[in-house]
Structure 1
Amino acid sequence: MGEWSFLSDMLDKVESHSTLLGKVWMSVLFIFRIFILAAGVDRIWGDEQSNMDCNTNSPGCKNACYDASFPISHTRFWVLQILTVSTPTFIYLGQVLLVIRKENKLRRHLQQKCDSNRMIKTPKYSDERGKVHLKGFLLVSYILQLIFKILLEVAFIVGQYFIYGFILMPDVITFKGGSCRTDTNCYISRPTEKNVFIIFMLAMGVLSVLLNIVEIFQLMVSKMKHRERKSFGSI
């Protein structure tokens, strides 16, 4: 888990500036995806090419069969998926930290300001504890990062099918080409166990998409209710 420590620290910072559903998404990403990937998946896959058995001893045939069937291993594909899907969230975190830094400087400036007769700009998006309020451009930025996460997640789910040509791991792959001069059967090690993790990671991807969609609607509804209460109070 050491290689994931930096990512987990960044996610902890994002969590403090997210909604309740955003915190749930962080839990799904870290506990059910990163932890499972780091703890068990890599041990099951291992060196898949050396574990593959083919009914031929032709030099290079196993390599050609593996390369054609798995342009990228499932574990590396999932690592790339997690890092890519997390990128919009990290961009949002950068904006939040920049806003907090600017508004903290503004607060220090206000404390040192002696002339109280002039109109002075006051902090708008954060409080003294460093907690941000989702409104204005920060709200737009937060919703945009949710939309990009949905698009990236769907792209990886669809891409997984197009890259491998199948959803579940087959027991045997028939290949012909390269150094395999005839139809060659190559047998995958522990296909059932691999299928469990493939289904699990796909389910987590779908759950991630659903959480982001629900969070967008929840934000929209809460802001509409807030405007209604505000307009009702002004009457």
Structure 2
Amino acid sequence: MNWAFLQGLLSGVNKYSTAFGRMWLSVVFLFRLMVFVVAAEKVWGDEQKDFSCNTIQPGCHNVCYDFYFPVSHVRLWALQLIFVTCPSLLVVMHVAYREDRERKYRAKHGEGCGRLYSDTGKKRGGLWWTYILTLIFKMVVDSVFVFLLYYMYEGYNFPALIKCKEDPCPNVVDCFIARPTEKRIFTIFMVVTSLVCVILSLLEIFYLVGKRCCECEIGRAASVPHRHVGNCREDGTQRPAGTHPARSSG
């Protein structure tokens, strides 16, 4: 897995993020991505090889392991990290799309024609919605993976002894997990950091929505008393009636 690509992707979107977004990036980098790369595989190692049962019945060991570990924790967390980081690429792509539109507009109408966007990286119009949707998606992904981990393993506990009676085991056999306490601590840590990311994304949504509402209210209050109410511009002010600016909300 090329984690350097994800690091570069998140670093690129950092300049378009709010304070809450930068905190989210720090948590993902330091407490999820780096800890996963450095410690996850060492904690689990070859978990199927370390999983032992007190029987020599062919197939019993594999069946019992698959019953208790239907999905590897390491692969599950890798999939989770990919799903929560890749939506940031949409923000970068949207900004690149705006910059391309701005370049084509200025090339067509000249340098003195004004601008389509006051700031191509400013979260207004379509970019605002793209950013909000990526936050919602990341919240949903983290919540779903935390629930799946809890559901598949009946909580975040790793008992040292497991009773297995799956076919083709001849009877109820005892199976043992290597380093259960270490695995439990690491799992709880990853779950807690996922929940912290969910909270940060939720706070960022509240912040962006609240800021947008305040800007629209300030724009209405600053406009002339007798006016035709139009839509909010990208900068949050109120658009006077009868005007048709060249700016786009894309």
TM-score, length basis structure 1: 0.88
Report the TM-score, using the length of structure 2 for normalisation. 0.83
Aligned to 1:190: 179
Per-residue deviation, residues 27-47 of structure 1 (Å, max 9, x unmatched): 111111010000011111000
1:42 alignment partner AA:
E
- Partner residue, 1:7: 6
Aligned partners of 2:54 and 2:175 also within 8 Å: yes
Residue 146 (structure 2) aligns with: 157
Q: Pick the aligned partner of 1:126 from 103, 119, 125.
A: 119
Query: 1:226 corresponds to which letter in structure 2?
Result: E
C-alpha offsets along residues 69-110 of structure 1, whole Å, 9 cap, x if unaligned? 111111110000111122322223222222222223333444
Q: Give the share of equivalent positions with the same residue, in percent.
A: 35
- 2:59 matched residue in structure 1: 60
Three-state SS of the structure 2 residue aligned to 1:122 is: coil
Alignment of 1:30-179 (within 5 A): 30-111=29-110, 122-124=115-117, 126=119, 132-179=121-168
Corresponding residue to 1:221 among 210, 226, 229: 210
Contact conserved, 1:99 with 1:125, CA < 8 A, in 2?
no
Give ranges in structure 1 of 5+ residues lacking alignment.
none
Asked if 1 retains the 8 angstrom alpha-carbon contact of 2:9 and 2:88, the reply is no
Higher relative contact order (CA 8 A, sep 6+): 1
Structure with bigger helix share is: 1
Number of positions where the alignment pairs a residue of Structure 1 with one of Structure 2: 224
Say if 1:168 and 1:195, in contact at 8 Å, map to a contact too.
yes
What SS does the aligned partner of 2:165 have? strand
CA distance change for structure 1 residues 199 and 126 in 2, over 3 Å: closer, same or farther? same
Contact 1:42/1:75, CA 8 A, preserved across alignment: yes
In 2, Cα distance between equivalents of 1:83 and 1:219: 25
Q: CA deviation at 1:166?
A: 3.1
Matches of 1:69 and 1:40, distance apart in 2 = 22
